Amino acid sequence: MRAPRSVPRARSMRKHPTQGERWVWKRLRGGKLGVKFRRQHPFGPYILDFYSDEAKLVVELDGDSHEGREAYDERRATYLRSHGLTVLRFHSEIRAEDGDKEIEIVRETLRAKGFAVPDPAG
């Protein structure tokens, strides 16, 4: 379900993450929330910022480049939902000062899907 040209682009995007992507990846990687996530994962014609196949969950970080692209984002979300995926969107300026609420939304979504999510305190 990958567009062949998206694989090299996804690799490049993994090598050059934004500050927000680095921050989120640090909290998702290695099964820290009880499920495996991939970053910059090709899916059909799109590249997903963060994707858990087992949870059918997509976490997208949208920056200023998404302004004025609401119709595109809605088509993309409709496509992903048509494949049984849940899509969470956050602003790309996520960081330690305010990002914990977004990670908590990811935790709550995983719990609602029936996954055992480790306590953030360890």
pLDDT in tens, 7-35: 666 566 666 677 888 888 999 999 999 99
CA distance 48 to 44: 10
Residue 120 has a pLDDT of: 76
Residue 110 has a pLDDT of: 98
SS (H, E, C) the chain: CECCCHHHHHHHHHHCCCHHHHHHHHHHHHHCCCCCCEEEEEEECEEEEEEECCCCEEEEEECHHHCCCHHHHHHHHHHHHHCCCEEEEEECCCCCCCCHHHHHHHHHHHHHCCCCCCCCCC
Residue 18 has a pLDDT of: 79
Residue 20 has a pLDDT of: 81
Q: Are 67 and 77 in contact (CB under 8 A)?
A: no
The model's pTM: 0.83
- Written as six digits, the tokens of 107 are 């935790």
Residue 114 has a pLDDT of: 96
Residues of the chain with pLDDT under 70: 1-16, 63-68, 93-99, 121-122
